[in-house]
Amino acid sequence: MNINPDLRAAVTAIKARGPLPPISPVLSWVGREYGDGECWKFVRDAFDEVGGIKLPDDYYSAVTFFTQVHPGGAEPYIPQPWDVPMLRTVDNVPILVLHPGLVIDGERFMQTWGNVGAGIFRLDDERISNRIVGYIRLIHQ
């Protein structure tokens, strides 16, 4: 497999650093303004401003820096801080459009939705849990 040397260097740098710091500063972002469709920008900003890791602007390029830690579904899973839950944006739609959030603790996560900005939501809320299709985690953790 041919891997972009810049990408290889970035992955190596992330693996070499220590664990991510506590995620608690992100809690002060409740209400922070994000526009419609800026869910990845929110996650990227948290990794940059709190975690000290710059991820690509483009979600599809950034996925390379993550690994799936749980496929979603009925199997029990307790997510860890900094995990990224991937949610379907609409129920019963054949096209899968994913929406990322950011796990705060084993029960809550933050996301942006529409034009309302960042907010905290319970992972066990049926409106949320039914849409989770999996969790991804930064490769170094």
Q: What CATH number should be reported for the domain holding residue 84?
A: 3.90.1720.10
Instruction: Give the phi and the psi of residue 42 in degrees, each rounded to 5.
Output: -60, -50
Give the predicted TM-score (pTM) of the model.
0.85
Supply 68's token pair: 């799936």
**Domain encompassing residue 87:** 5-138
Helix/strand/coil (H/E/C) assignment for every residue in 52-84: CCCCCCCHHHHHHHEEEEECCCCCCCCCCCCCE
C-alpha to C-alpha distance for 5 and 133, rounded to whole angstroms: 31
SS3 65: helix
Please write the tens of the pLDDT for every residue from 54-102: 898 988 888 888 999 998 776 788 999 999 999 887 766 655 668 899 9
Judge whether residue 7 has pLDDT over 80. Answer: no
**Residue 77: how many CB atoms within 10 A of its CB?**
18
Across the chain, mean pLDDT equals 84
Closest CA to 59 of 83, 42, 34, 36: 42
Per the CB < 8 A criterion, the answer to whether 101 and 113 are in contact is: no
Q: Give the residue-averaged pLDDT of 45-59.
A: 91
For the chain, the domain total comes to 1
Lowest mean pLDDT among 5-19, 26-40, 41-55, 84-98: 5-19
Which pLDDT score, from 0 to 100, does residue 60 have?
85
Q: Give the residue-averaged pLDDT of 104-127.
A: 90
Instruction: Give the phi and the psi of residue 29 in degrees, each rounded to 5.
Output: -85, 0
Judge whether residue 105 has pLDDT over 60. Answer: yes
Which pLDDT score, from 0 to 100, does residue 15 have?
65
